């Protein structure tokens, strides 16, 4: 719909520009033609103008006859001369006999005229010397048609120039914008992705410019995300290396003592084996968390499939199962609010992993003497589930890199929601916002 609108808008701009140009040309053509007509009418209504034109024409005919040895009986040569003087007709008289008339075929006898040749409006008589005698030349003028045609042509030419100028001025803004976009694209091609593309107007060119600028921003965001991901992965690998190295070093040390026969007694050897076993399980737990983190963040090989489910029923199953396990482990549970009826779009496997991570954190780090609270609330058109506990003072975190919380955050992003981990001096609260249908 927007595409069709833009096409209509750009087309309307071009049509409107053409109409404006034509209107400007018409506004020039009509007054100019009227003014030239007025000047021409005033000029052609003056008898002195015809007399001057006739004398000039007679002089030109005399010069032509002298230069070419013109004969008064050579109609073709006379036609050639007349064709050089538009708007005039020529008649030659010898006595009362017409021997030549423009556009007429005269026989040898000619045409006789009983009236005496003389001046009449639009007509002048002059004696002309030819190679074979003297004849009287009469000129008839029809300047009106010729000059009116010239006036129309001149007015139309001026109007055409005005139309072209107006069109050029109207189109020049678009062509200048295209040239500007070309220059800015070359800047982007040079690697300066922080140069902002100019967006002007609301037609296809503006839409194209906006699309290019959006693409520029997307590339910047993608590069920033990739840089942040590389930095996060580097920090994760560094931290995991440290966390794995400590128990692994201890495990190797105990194994070296056992294999080297340096145990003082069988009880000490058994103790070293038990400590090494715990260190091995600690290493396994860290490696499992690391594998889970990369599995969740691997978007190239994993597609999150969401299905619509009954939110209240799913939360009752998953959350209540986890709370039951906590109660079995000696925790006191406080339930705040009731899950409202809603429909959620979730990946059930990832959904269970989300709450499994949270309940596992509670088991490891929560103070058994304080209550664990779970709450439900409606907020911002979605469902908020919160899980809060007090942190035990003597708890020691195994996963100092917080892989579990990062995994929870990524799972919520895959579901179009948000995850917040709020820490206080002695407390911890996880808040999850789910969009509901």
Q: 266-314: per-residue pLDDT in tens? A: 888 888 888 888 878 777 777 766 666 665 555 554 566 888 999 889 9
Q: Whose structure tokens read 């300066």?
A: 192
CB 17 within 8 A of CB 170: yes
Cα atoms in the 13 Å half-sphere on the side-chain side of 338: 2
238 pLDDT higher than 80? no
Number of neighbouring beta carbons within 10 Å of residue 414: 17
Q: How far apart are alpha carbons 384 and 146 in whole angstroms? A: 91
Phi/psi for 336 (5° steps) reads -115, 110
Q: Which two tokens stand for residue 13?
A: 């701009």
Looking at every residue in the chain, the average pLDDT score rounds to 80
Structure confidence at residue 36 (pLDDT): 82
Beta strand 111-112 pairing with 123-130: unpaired
Strands (E) located in 85-132: 88-94, 97-101, 111-112, 123-130
Structure confidence at residue 4 (pLDDT): 43
CB 307 within 8 A of CB 345: yes
378-403 per-position pLDDT tens digit: 888 899 999 999 988 766 544 445 67
Beta strand 382-390 pairing with 418-423: unpaired
Structure confidence at residue 387 (pLDDT): 92
120-159 per-position pLDDT tens digit: 444 568 899 998 889 999 888 776 677 778 888 888 888 8
Cα atoms in the 13 Å half-sphere on the side-chain side of 158: 14
88-104 per-position pLDDT tens digit: 788 899 888 888 988 77
Which pTM value belongs to this model? 0.42
Q: Which residues contact 349 (CB under 8 A, 6 or more apart)?
A: none
Instruction: Give the mean model confidence (pLDDT) for residues 249-272.
Output: 82
Q: Which two tokens stand for residue 25?
A: 């040309």
Structure confidence at residue 63 (pLDDT): 92
Cross-strand pairs, 324: none
Phi/psi for 88 (5° steps) reads -130, 150
Structure confidence at residue 177 (pLDDT): 83
């Amino acid at each position: 719909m927007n595409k069709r609108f833009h096409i209509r808008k750009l087309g309307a701009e071009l049509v409107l520009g053409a109409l404006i140009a034509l209107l400007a040309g018409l506004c020039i053509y009509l007054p100019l033609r009227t003014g030239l007509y007025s000047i021409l009418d005033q000029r052609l209504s003056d008898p002195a103008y015809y007399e001057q034109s006739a004398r000039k024409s007679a002089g030109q005919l005399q010069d032509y006859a002298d230069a070419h040895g013109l004969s008064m009986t050579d109609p073709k040569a006379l036609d050639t001369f007349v064709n050089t003087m538009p708007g005039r007709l020529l008649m030659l008289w010898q006595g009362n006999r017409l021997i030549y008339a423009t556009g007429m075929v005269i026989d040898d006898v000619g045409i006789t005229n009983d009236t005496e040749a003389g001046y009449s409006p639009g007509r002048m008589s002059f004696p002309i010397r030819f190679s074979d005698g003297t004849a009287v030349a009469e000129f008839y003028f029809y300047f009106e048609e010729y000059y009116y045609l010239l006036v129309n042509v001149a007015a139309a030419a001026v109007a055409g120039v005005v139309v072209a100028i107006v069109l050029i001025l109207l189109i020049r803004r678009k062509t200048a914008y295209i040239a500007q976009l070309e220059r800015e694209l070359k800047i982007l091609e040079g690697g300066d992705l922080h140069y902002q593309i100019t967006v002007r107007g609301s037609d296809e060119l503006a839409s194209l410019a906006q699309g290019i600028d959006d693409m520029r921003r997307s590339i910047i965001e993608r590069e920033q995300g990739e840089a942040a991901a590389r930095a996060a992965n580097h920090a994760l690998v560094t931290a995991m290396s440290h966390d794995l190295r400590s128990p692994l070093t201890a495990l190797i040390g105990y194994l070296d003592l056992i294999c080297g026969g340096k145990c003082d007694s069988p009880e000490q050897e058994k103790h070293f084996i038990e400590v090494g076993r715990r260190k091995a399980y600690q290493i396994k737990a860290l490696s499992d968390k690391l594998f889970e983190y990369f599995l969740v963040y691997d978007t190239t090989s994993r597609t999150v499939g969401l299905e619509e489910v009954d939110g209240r029923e799913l939360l009752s199953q998953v959350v209540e199962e986890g709370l039951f396990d906590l109660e079995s482990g000696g925790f006191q549970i406080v339930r705040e609010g009731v899950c409202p009826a809603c429909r959620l779009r979730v990946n059930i496997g990832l959904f269970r992993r989300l709450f499994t991570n949270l309940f596992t954190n509670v088991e490891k780090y929560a103070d058994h003497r304080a209550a664990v609270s779970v709450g439900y609330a409606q907020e911002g058109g979605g469902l908020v589930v919160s899980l809060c506990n007090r942190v035990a003072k003597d708890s020691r975190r195994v996963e100092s890199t917080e892989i579990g919380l990062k995994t929870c955050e990524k799972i919520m992003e895959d579901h179009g929601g948000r995850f917040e981990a709020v820490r206080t001096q002695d407390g911890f609260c996880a808040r999850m916002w789910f969009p509901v249908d």
